[in-house]
């Protein structure tokens, strides 16, 4: 019942209220970005959704307009040169993810679930297939996010995503939600321009 109905109902309620109460702060963030680097304040990127269907994920733009598109940050050569000053703070605090409340309200994402892969992250998509992690809505945050985030290597990340699918329940989502809050305040697992750093 939770998977099929209540999870989606909670997503609608939480995302609607989030958009309502965070509307003005989001406008302020958008203005800061546009002042620092003229151009769109929002960044849209093709991501992998439920059953591997593509959708356009919305984020605050944290990188300069001349940054190569559809390339994960860790694959860029010297990624620091592309990141805005405001973008460093947005990424560190995860505020760049706030516009995904619109994706959640639209039913393309959930509050909790595996983070949506880029459409061309074939290795991650393939690994997630082993665990059925492509058959649940991707999330704003998830079990892998609070267990290493950018530091996790792809096979480990996919395994955590699979563990989430197995344990998916209201209680487990609640656990992920509150652990995410703690991880964000501590900026756990954020590695600019890198992935798999935990092994190193």
DSSP 40: -
* Rounded-to-integer distance, Cα 20 and Cα 31, Å: 18
Q: Which helix (H) or strand (E) holds 186?
A: helix 170-186
What's the pLDDT tens digit per position in 157-178? 999 999 999 999 999 999 999 9
Question: Phi first, then psi: what are they for 58, rounded to 5°?
Answer: -110, 130
**Residue 13 token pair:** 């309620």
How many Å apart are CA 193 and CA 28, to the nearest integer? 26
List, for residues 122-159, the tens digit of each pLDDT value. 999 999 999 999 999 999 999 998 888 667 899 999 99
Report the alpha-carbon distance of residue 34 to residue 124 in Å, rounded.
Answer: 33
**What pLDDT is stored for residue 182 in this prediction?**
82
What is the per-residue pLDDT for 192? 41
pTM of the predicted protein model: 0.86
């Amino acid at each position: 019942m939770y998977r099929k109905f209540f999870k989606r109902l909670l997503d609608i309620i939480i995302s609607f209220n989030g958009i309502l109460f965070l509307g003005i702060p989001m406008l302020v963030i958008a203005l800061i970005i546009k002042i620092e680097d003229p151009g769109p304040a929002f960044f849209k990127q093709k991501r992998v959704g439920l059953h591997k269907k593509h959708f356009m994920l919305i984020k605050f733009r944290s990188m300069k307009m001349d940054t190569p598109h559809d390339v994960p940050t860790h694959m860029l050569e010297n990624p620091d040169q592309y990141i805005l000053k405001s973008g460093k703070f947005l990424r560190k605090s995860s505020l760049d993810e706030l516009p995904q409340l619109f994706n959640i309200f639209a039913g393309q994402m959930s509050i909790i679930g595996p983070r949506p892969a880029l459409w061309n992250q074939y290795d991650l998509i393939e690994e997630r297939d082993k665990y059925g992690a492509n058959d649940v809505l991707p999330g704003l945050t998830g079990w892998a996010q609070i267990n290493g985030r950018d530091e996790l290597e792809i096979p480990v990340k996919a395994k955590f995503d699979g563990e989430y699918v197995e344990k998916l329940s209201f209680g487990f989502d609640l656990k992920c939600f509150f652990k995410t809050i703690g991880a964000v305040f501590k900026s756990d697992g954020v590695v600019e321009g890198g992935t798999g750093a935990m092994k190193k």
